[in-house]
Amino acid sequence: MVASGLDILLRNTESFRNRNIGLIVNQTSVTSELTYSWNILKEKGLHLRRIFSPEHGIFATEQDQISVTYQPELDCEVVSLYGNTAESLLPDTALLDNLDLIFFDIQDVGSRYYTYVNTLALFMEAVSGRDIEIMVLDRPNPLGGTIIEGPMLDPAFRSFVGIFPVPVRHAMTAGELAYFYRDINKLDINLSVIAMDGWTRSMLFPETGLPWIPPSPNMPTFSTAEVYPGMCLFEGLNVSEGRGTTTPFQLSGAPFINPRDLADHCSGYGLKGVLFRPVWFKPTFHKFCGEIIGGIWLQVTDHSSFRSFATGVAITAALNEMYPQDLKFLQGVYEFNNTIPAFDLLTGSGHIRSMILEGCDADSIINSWQSDETGFAEIKRDFHLYN
């Protein structure tokens, strides 16, 4: 079984006894025996001064884009890094004055959109130039460390769902991303990573032997994480991404969709490693709450050939071709940004949406980011911590 960075740290904690420690954690920060880090570190005699929690809260009690105002009582101060404003994403500098070490230990899901590593990046910026060490207790990338997918982020589209200039599926761990971000931004920080033991780049999460703890309310299983890099795009459409069901992101749909027609159309693309099952479903909250709507279910049949982002883009292209009068790209506030459509923030530029609206075929759209994948594959090797 893979040993997480937290479990490796716990083998020898003596050198941390005289440090003033802050944690960036949530409910995924557990030992192999499912003990929360803040409990076991206190048992080991470490001086925990403050816990910082990311989006959704320390126990992931809040839905997406909901300000975290309530934190369960713990034997340590808990501060939210997700409030009502973009400024809330950064720690108040006064909260850093009595700290000299920050442990980051949260399970990521391997997609540029997922905001926990973006919280890490912003925290790194906040402590740059200060005498504070950041130590990442590394955990697996559930999607493995080899397959890269999607376009690079255009810096003009930086947002809380796009901090790292990487493809959508980046195939890096949180620790590797931290070293990458420090170097490309020339941050003046004392950064270290406690690497895992036993993890290899070819591993998907089920192969690690670790228990899956849902890192956020709509990430209940590894199967959800596997389709997330593509199906999260539907957050930028007037189409349900399956929130309000027990299988978010595997399901998608809208009142104007004929399930069989859409499944047949998507099957015609010849996408590898996935089948499209026509379905009807009724979300209990979020988009189309209480309505029975038509859509499709994604069934991954081959992990190695399935490309989630390409699949999400292809389904979007199909919806635009089949329902041009009904499909809408949403405007309005999305993750504290009210000037750029959510779909563009997620894809990292306006290019893919423009190609879809121009009626470009799915193959042409998918081929448009192949050079980004190839180029990033060369760059990221310099930051690999695992074979």
Cβ neighbors of 317 (< 8 A, separation 6 or more) are: 356, 360, 361, 362, 365
Mean pLDDT of 262-276: 98
Query: Residue 207 in 3-state DSSP?
Result: helix
SS3 152: coil
**What pTM did the predictor assign?**
0.97
With a cut of 80, say whether residue 119 has pLDDT above it: yes
Task: Provide the CA 297 distance to its chain's centre, in angstroms.
Answer: 21
In this structure, the number of other CB atoms found within 10 A of the CB of residue 220 comes to: 17
Residue owning tokens 């459509």:
341
Phi/psi zone of residue 283: left (φ > 0), alpha (ψ -120 to 50 degrees), beta? beta
Longest Cα–Cα distance of the chain, Å, equals 64
Which of 64-68, 79-83, 191-195, 323-327 is predicted least confidently?
64-68
**How much is the average pLDDT of 33-40?**
97
Specify the pLDDT at position 381.
98
Q: What is the average pLDDT value for the chain, to the nearest integer? A: 96
List, in sequence order, every residue forming a beta bridge with 332; answer none if it has no partner: none
**CB-based contacts of 205-213 (< 8 A; 24+ apart in sequence):** 205/140, 205/142, 205/143, 208/1, 208/2, 208/140, 209/1, 209/2, 210/1, 210/2, 210/4, 210/32, 210/140, 211/34, 213/27, 213/28, 213/30, 213/107
- Cα 138 to Cα 295: distance, rounded to the nearest angstrom: 37
Domains of the chain, residue spans? 5-211+378-383, 222-368
Give the C-alpha separation, 301 to 278, whole Å. Answer: 16
Closest CA to 293 of 329, 230, 242: 242
Which residues pair with residue 21 across a beta bridge?
48, 101
Q: pLDDT per residue over 162-221, tens digit each?
A: 999 999 999 999 999 999 999 999 999 999 999 999 999 999 999 999 999 999 999 999
CATH of domain 222-368: 3.90.1150.140
Q: Which residue has the tokens 């195939």?
A: 171
Task: Write down the pLDDT at residue 63.
Answer: 86
Q: What percent of the chain has pLDDT over 90?
A: 96
User: pLDDT grade, residue 64 (50/70/90)?
Assistant: confident
At 216, list the tokens. Answer: 């956020």
Q: pLDDT digits over 217-265, tens only?
A: 999 999 999 999 999 999 999 999 999 999 999 999 999 999 999 999 9
Per-residue confidence (pLDDT) for residue 75, from 0 to 100: 84
Residues 330-366 pLDDT 10s: 999 999 999 999 999 999 999 999 999 999 999 999 9
Residue recorded with tokens 């399935």: 306
Instruction: Give the 3-state secondary structure of residue 66.
Output: coil
Q: What is the pLDDT of residue 69?
A: 76
The pLDDT assigned to 72 comes to: 77
Residue 116: the pLDDT is 97
For residue 100, the model assigns a pLDDT of 96
Q: What local confidence, expressed as pLDDT, does residue 356 receive?
A: 98
**Which two structure tokens, joined as six digits, stand for 283?**
């979300």
What strands, in cross-sheet order, belong to the sheet with 133-137?
A: 77-80, 47-53, 20-25, 101-105, 133-137, 190-194
Mean pLDDT of all residues in 140-160:
98
Q: What is the pLDDT of residue 66?
A: 78
- Which H, E and C letters describe 217-252, residue by residue? CCCCCHHHHHHHHHHHHHHHECCECCCCCCCECCEE
Task: Let me know: does 275 contact 305? Beta carbons within 8 Å.
Answer: no
Entry field: residues in the chain? 387
pLDDT in tens, 74-112: 888 999 999 999 999 999 999 999 999 999 999 999 999
Helix (H, G, I), strand (E, B) or coil at 137: strand
5-211+378-383, which class in CATH? Answer: alpha beta
Residue 300, H or E segment = strand 293-300
Instruction: Establish whether domains 5-211+378-383 and 222-368 are of one fold.
Output: no
Compute the distance between CA of residue 231 and CA of residue 49 in angstroms, rounded to an integer.
Answer: 39
pLDDT of residue 182: 98
DSSP 8-class letter at 3:
B
Give the span between the Cα atoms of 329 and 353, in whole angstroms.
Answer: 9
Within 64-217, residue ranges assigned H as helices are 115-127, 174-185
